[in-house]
Every structure is written in structure tokens, then in C-alpha cells.
Amino acid sequence: MSSTTLSVILFPTRLCLWLLSLLYWTLVYGTAGVTACMVLIRIAWRGLRDPHTTFRWTVRNRPPACLRDPALGTHGYLRCRSSGLRLHFVSRGKSRKPLMLFLHGFPENWYSWRYQLREFSMQYHTVALDLRGCGDSAAPYSLEDYTLEKLLDDIRDTISGLGHTRCVLVGHDWGGMLAWHFALERPDMVQRLVVMNAPHPASWLDAVLRRPSQLLRSGHTCFFQLPLLPEIALSLEDFQLVRSMLCGEYAGIRNKARRLTEADLEGYLYHLSQPGGLTTPLNYYRALLSNTPYRHQDMGVACMLIWGEADGILVEGMSGGARPYTWGSVVVRRIPDCSHWVQQDQPETVNKMLWDFLLQRESPQY
């Protein structure tokens, strides 16, 4: 078959993919524009009413005590073989035990896994990583340093740098997206996969194209594609939007017994308040969203998706979206009245689900 004939045959498929990509980015930047207008109106309104409070934020000079609590684990650093970057982590348990590696999301750091670090350290070498650009890990400023390939190299180098060849990989939010991609790319290094409130990469595109209105539910993801304005908006009123994300009535932790204290909040705000402390985490959104998920779908690693049903951050209807894209066993567990911050909101429930999955107490659901 000649190359000309092949090109003619493939032309309809290529055209469809191009049109889908065009529609995708039109929706993304259209939503970003709408969200930006809403944010600017909010800034102007609050600035006129109380400019002193609105345009104020404080750089924290010392890390809070919660980040130095020895009961949570031992702090350590490793040097990535691929990039040379130094990544920070907190670990518990003996290193000869199987590795359980935790990947956090935004605007969090390793501290979001405090309930799981202790729970599983008797049976596993539990490690909560500060992803590059976050917490005490190295924070390169360029957007090119946050491509999917480099982020996945960090996970691979972390596993091998800790002296392991495989791990139970647990991720939440963008850490969950990285976990999905890593299991797709390197299934040989993932014993089991647990993802919390992060859709399968292919289901994200599917949901957006089927119901474009869903993007409004996750408008922050599109808004973060814009330069500079997200950093300003998140900093205003001493990081009020960040506080609202984690503690607000709509998006924040719903379990009254587990709501973040001011000290817990400072555990996140300390790093975000440093110069450039918001830009490097936001680079994840700016880089990862550009990886429209056409290339990988099927995955054979046994996985569990945990979804807080009261998620005010991500679009609805994605909690079951992993099943069409996995040919290995997949368990989908939903937690009613639980926010996006599932491992902090309902730690006892999440930990029990993890134990059941790891010990195979429940038959896989398809």
C-alpha cells in the first residue's frame, strides 16, 4: 500500500482527532476566560470595599510545628537520577518492607498523608513524597520542567532511590493523575494502584466532550492555565481562596471532627507563601492539561478508585470512568458526604478501604 493511499485512508481519523483537540482547547480556554472575568469582578469588588485586607498576604518565616512532628515520620531527601533534583519525603516503617508511596495534590504537600503514614507503617515502608515544585523539594521555575515525562521520571527515580523495584502507588488529585499515568507507563513497577478523587486520564476528556458544562465545575483547572492572574488571586486576603478550597462550606472538608485547624492550614500555607511558592505547583496544571489523553487508555494493574461524593472541585460523573479503560481488576468505592480531600476528610473509612483492597477482602468489581 502506497503512502499516498495510506494518508487518504487515515485522513478522516486525523481530521476527527484534530477537531476533537480544537474543541477541547476551545472549551478549556473559554472556561478560563469566563472564570477569569468572575475572579476579576470579585477582586475589584473586594478591593473597593476593603483594599487593605484584600491586597495583603504574609510570607511565613518559619515552618509550623506540624511539619516537624517526629511522630509522623522521618524526614529525608533523595537525588533523582534523571534530573539531579533533590526531593523531600517523610517515611515510616522499615525499609525492607514493601514500599507504599503516596503522591499529594494541590494545594497540599506530604502532610496530607499524615493519617496514612502511621496507619500502614507496620506492614509497609510508607513514604509521602513532596513532588517537585512543592514543599521542601527542589522547585525549578520553568514550565518545561513539569512535563509529564519528567514527573514520571521523578516517581521512577524515587522508587529505585528508596531501594525498591515496585510499590503500592497511592495518589490524590494531581498526584492521582500522575499515579494513573505512571501505572500506564510502568506497570512493572506498580504492585497495586490506589487513586483518590482523580479521574482516569481518558475519562477526563470523554466527560468534557460529552458534557462541556462540566468544565464549569472544575473551572479552576482551566483558570490556572492563565499566566500570573491565578497566583495573584490565590494570594489575596492572605490566601483566602486556598483556605476556602480546604475549609470552605462548598469545597472544604465536611467531617467536623477532621476539619483543618489553623495549625494544619499553616502546614500548607508556609510553602505556598514563599516567593514563587504558587507558580511551581500551578505549573502542574499548565503542563499536565496540555497532555490531552489520546495515547494511553487500557491498563492492566489492579486498581482501586476512591471517590468522595461531595467533591466540589472535580466534575461529577467521573467516579466510574475508570472501568472502560482498565482490563485488570478495578474496584470503585464511593464515600457519601465526603469532600475532594478524601484521605483527610474520612481517614478511618479510607484506611479501611485500603486495607480491604490490599488484603483482598473484597472481590473486584467490574
Residues catalogued as catalytic:
173, 285, 340
Measure the CA–CA gap between 229 and 103, rounded to whole angstroms.
27
User: DSSP for 2-71?
Assistant: -HHHHHHHHHHHHHHHHHHHHHHHHHHHHHHHHHHHHHHHHHHHHHHH-HHHHT------S--GGGG-GG
User: Grid coordinates 519528567 are at which residue?
Assistant: 150
Measure the CA–CA gap between 177 and 201, rounded to whole angstroms.
7
Per-residue cell: 264: 494544619
Q: Give the CA-trace dihedral at 264, 130, 132, 148, to 10 degrees.
A: -110
CA angle at residue 48 from 44 to 52, to 5 degrees? 105
125 phi and psi, to 5 degrees? -85, 95
Alpha helices in the chain (DSSP H): 3-49, 51-54, 114-119, 148-161, 174-185, 201-210, 219-223, 229-247, 262-272, 279-288, 342-345, 347-358
Paired with 307 in beta bridges are 334
Measure the CA–CA gap between 238 and 55, rounded to whole angstroms.
8
Paired with 210 in beta bridges are none
Which residues make Cβ contacts (< 8 Å) with residue 52, sequence separation at least 6?
A: none
Residue 260 DSSP label = P
Q: What is the residue type of 115?
A: Y
Measure the CA–CA gap between 180 and 214, rounded to whole angstroms.
21
Task: Give the chain's radius of gyration (CA, Å).
Answer: 21
Q: Give the CA-trace dihedral at 105, 147, 315, 236, to 10 degrees.
A: 60
